[in-house]
Chain A
Amino acid sequence: MATTDIHLHQDVHHHDDHEEHEHHEGNFWTTYIFSQDHKIIAKQFLITGIFWALLGGTLSVIFRLQLGFPDMNLDWLKPVLGGWITPEGKLDPEFYLALVTMHGTIMVFFVLTAGLSGTFSNFLIPLQIGARDMASGFMNMLSYWFFFISSVIMFVSLFLETGPAGGGWTVYPPLSALPQAIKGSGLGMTLWLVAMAFFIASSLLGSINYITTVINMRTKGMSFTRMPLTIWAFFFTAIIGVLSFPVLFAAALLLIFDRSFGTSFYLSDIYIGGEALAHDGGSPILFQHLFWFLGHPEVYIVLLPALGLSSEIIATNSRKPIFGYKAMIGSMLFIAILSFIVWAHHMFVTGMNPFLGSIFMLLTLIIAVPSAVKIFNYVTTLWKGNIHFTPGMLFSIGLVSFFLTGGITGIFLGNSAIDIQLHDTYFVVAHFHLVMGSASFFGMMAGVYHWFPKMFGRMMNPTLGYIHFWLTFVGVYMVFFPMHYIGIAGFPRRYYSWTNFETFNGFTDLNMLVSIAAILTLASQFIFLFNFFYSMFRGRLAPINPWDSTTLEWTTPRNPGHGNWVGEIPSVYRWPYDYSKPGAKEDYIPQHIPYSETPESNLPHENDLIKLESSNGSGAIVVEGDKH
């Protein structure tokens, strides 16, 4: 391949990378702790995410004990929970609310945003677009350490005497603004807000990096229309994050002002604890608007990366191109745009102007169309495939199933007239746990199983993977499907117990089933944990390309060093989904194989591209090189 000045420059740069790399080697602190290597940072996010997922899951099991076995004596939890277990051996009702709040916060932000996006955007963007690292390794490192600080603060809040924040993960004021209203709104809420401020900073640093990297650092030939759907998904996710997280920051900042400096952004006409507060003219509804302006896009921040990962895994393991590549990108784009203009469907019965409700209902139900397109495209991708059930594939199929089951209940909730009855009942709990919680969690699991060989150079044990999948898949359905019935029966969420109401005193059997299933599902995650840590050190050595995949990350060495590729970064000549192409020798053609080497399988228009490939040496490089 001919070289140009710019190419030379690239080489020099690349040489620098290596020097740096060698220099770093051996120093534990710079290699593993304050690393600027995107792969290490991804693993840091992953491990922290796993820690939080376990904690979040454990919290949910504790409150499920209360809901499923209301008469159970919980004295045996005293060594851990101390004073939060009442002398009668019951969970303290206020601590119950704190558990629910922290479970939501941890799962939504720390696991499914940082743990999912942070891990796979970091790991896959440079590897799949053919870059040596992120645009700014330093910012990337900061992104993780801000997340770490945020994690520490949130973790510390669990141990406060007054408990962590307890006003629900949506922290609606005035409850979250007034320590008189609930103990958790004291120091616990302050730490929650501080932690979220750090978290937002972390998320923004990460997102800006992802966007910059995707736009500027693609390798030769990696045009936007040749990017794997994972990258498209991370790209849209990062854009949504950059546009919506600052609004949450604003909401949190105003809440801090109201709490600590006596302003009245959200507070008005309040009489509590025997006195009328001086706050006047604020509106709690304003907070809800600001919160959900992030909160709804957040759903897609959580979901899109999972959908991207599963698109890639389903195509690879069906040995088929993903059906409707452009339609998939289009639907993600459409979802990303719409995600900003549907937020008030969380607020149909908050007293918001009903006309606004009509508008948001219209927009909300429109978003079901691109979501439906995605499901149909997944199903068509499976059609006439040659499916290999790797654990990653199983979890991706599970994702599609949850996305379908949880997605259709969104059509009920998006309809404001029906939402009157269902709002804040267990129907909502079932809906979002399936469509965003479990679907994204399965996307994350699929990603871990699929890219583990690239992360650690070893294979995970597939049998344990199958067992983990089936227990979790059935377990998740057993936990969340019964909640639909409980919700249709009107059971409100965030209730410590239902025995005060005649209307809600049934379904003790179903609640018990849900709790048992939750415990078993959590327990089966330990199979994964064992497999994960065992395989990291003792797993079978991974082949270079274990899944016969087409994307660039599988062209790197088994354990890629800092810089990812030894020597030149491969160029890209084709889209990422040339699976089972008619005429081809193998059932996959990697992206870095030029059309000139595969005359037997080229489509007519691809033969025309061969000429461009040979001129790549001069033309294309200058264009690509200029961007660096």
Chain B
Amino acid sequence: MTSLIIILGVVLVLGILYMIFRVSNLVAIAKGGVVDEKSSTANKVNAALFIVFLVGSLILFFWYSITRFHEYTLPIASEHGKVTDKLFWITMWVTVAAFVIISIIMFVFIYQYQYKVGRKAKYFPDNHYLELAWTIIPAIVLAVLIFTGLRAWNDITGPASKDAEVIELVAQQFAWTARYPGVKDKALGKVNYKLIDNFGNEFGLDLTDKQSFDDFKSLELHLPVDQEILLKIRAKDVLHSVFLPHFRVKMDAVPGMPTQFKFKATKTTQEMRDETGNPNFNYELACTEICGRGHFSMKMPVVVEEQEAYDKWKASQEAWLKQNPDYLKKVPDALKEAAMIKAGMQKDPGVTVAEVKQ
């Protein structure tokens, strides 16, 4: 019933609008048809509306940008983030200045040079000096922006230092998993996608590789503060993208092509909670490459802690092999004992870790 009333109402309104349109048309014809359209009030109204639009939109733009600054800017929590954000804001100042100046000039011209009876437009087809000027000036400004950007880009994408903390992130529909090299050998074991199965070997760990024995899995991404981190990123099924908004980190996860991103976190979760005044603040990892139905829910909690707490956390984690003891049968016989020791499934019978490694 209500929908019928709504439909009737809409039809009625449309009918009225149509009648108004017809009547105004007829009135215009009765008045003697179209006079000189150019000098009509419509031309003046349109010209004035551009000025209203210009003033209104600029006020709205500056008011919102200034009063809501903290709502749309994310605090920075990484070293390179300071650099890229600085570049961002330099570019912002340059472009906003250009934008405001050009907009004002354009809309003022539009208003000022609206049609007036008897005035003739200026025949001004060409001016080489002007054209040279506005080719060269943007070129110089852009060159400066390019070179500062290039330097930052080269630093960010340059090789990571040798003692960077290596962590592997594995993306799949629709979850992230982290794999840490164990505390014993500090190196990630080999993986092969053909070894992935549904029963536990979600990484495709190659258990013939000694380095895989103490690797452990985590569903939370723990990061040490002030220590270079090298994320090794891969995907199991489709494209995904690692996005750590507060750290200004983004890198696609590509099946068949491991990628990486190095960065240094500068604030622990606790420090960030203090800074933002939000006791529930948490860092998050999001997916930014369309990956299917659950794309929007592909989240991983991120915890940044002091080196000490981080080391403690790492030491407290069980090796993947210990959690999945069935896979011991995949370990070559000769390495079985070493594997059990390294995975923490068996007390170390007096041998040092260093010897196991060899």
- A182 contacts B150, C-beta separation under 8 Å: no
Given contacts A373-B134, A420-B250, contact A540 B290 (CB under 8 A): no
Name the CB-closest residue of A to B281.
A502
- A580 contacts B123, C-beta separation under 8 Å: yes
Point out the residues of chain A lying under 8 angstroms from B237, CB to CB: 174, 178, 181, 270-272
CA distance A326 to B131 in the complex (A): 11
Point out the residues of chain A lying under 8 angstroms from B45, CB to CB: 466
Given contacts A366-B142, A385-B121, A485-B68, contact A282 B256 (CB under 8 A): yes
The residue that B280 contacts in the complex, of A325, A473, A502, with Cβ under 8 A, is A502
CA distance A421 to B248 in the complex (A): 5
Point out the residues of chain B lying under 8 angstroms from A270, CB to CB: 193, 236-238, 255-256
CA distance A271 to B256 in the complex (A): 10
CA distance A351 to B142 in the complex (A): 25
- B154 contacts A354, C-beta separation under 8 Å: yes
Q: Which of A301-325 contact B (CB under 8 A)?
A: 318-325
Point out the residues of chain A lying under 8 angstroms from B88, CB to CB: 412, 418, 421
Asked if A93 is an interface residue, CB under 8 A from chain B, the answer is: yes
Chain B nearest CB from A560 CB (Å) reads 23
The residue that B74 contacts in the complex, of A172, A327, A378, A503, with Cβ under 8 A, is A503
Q: How many residues of B contact A (CB 8 A)?
A: 113
Point out the residues of chain B lying under 8 angstroms from A470, CB to CB: 49
Asked if B169 is an interface residue, CB under 8 A from chain A, the answer is: no
- B116 contacts A386, C-beta separation under 8 Å: yes
CA distance A93 to B82 in the complex (A): 36
Asked if A424 is an interface residue, CB under 8 A from chain B, the answer is: yes
- A420 contacts B95, C-beta separation under 8 Å: no
CA distance A103 to B44 in the complex (A): 38
The residue that A423 contacts in the complex, of B145, B257, B288, with Cβ under 8 A, is B288
Given contacts A501-B284, A507-B71, contact A580 B122 (CB under 8 A): yes
- A351 contacts B254, C-beta separation under 8 Å: yes
What is the count of residue pairs linking A and B with beta-carbon distances less than 8 angstroms? Answer: 329
Point out the residues of chain A lying under 8 angstroms from B139, CB to CB: 366, 369
Most chain A C-beta atoms within 10 Å of own C-beta, residue among B34, B122, B154, B172: B122
> Hey, which bits of chain A sit against chain B, CB under 8 A?
93-94, 97, 167-168, 172, 174-175, 178, 181-182, 267-272, 274, 276, 281-285, 318-327, 349-351, 354, 357-358, 361-362, 365-366, 368-369, 372-373, 375-380, 382-389, 394, 397, 400-401, 404-405, 408-409, 411-412, 415-418, 420-421, 423-425, 461-464, 466, 470, 473-474, 477, 481, 485-486, 488-490, 492-498, 500-504, 506-507, 540, 577, 579-582, 587
> Hey, which bits of chain B sit against chain A, CB under 8 A?
21, 24-25, 34, 37-38, 42-43, 45-47, 49-50, 53, 57, 61, 64-65, 68, 71-74, 81, 83-85, 87-88, 91-92, 94-95, 98-99, 102-103, 105-106, 109-110, 113-116, 119-127, 130-131, 134-135, 138-139, 142, 145-146, 149-150, 152-154, 156-157, 172-173, 193-194, 196, 198, 204, 233, 236-239, 241, 243, 245-246, 248-252, 254-257, 259, 280-282, 284, 286-297, 299
A–B Cβ pairs within 8 angstroms, 18 of them: A175-B291, A181-B238, A284-B239, A323-B127, A350-B252, A351-B257, A358-B150, A368-B138, A379-B109, A380-B130, A385-B122, A387-B47, A387-B110, A411-B142, A412-B91, A417-B156, A580-B120, A582-B123
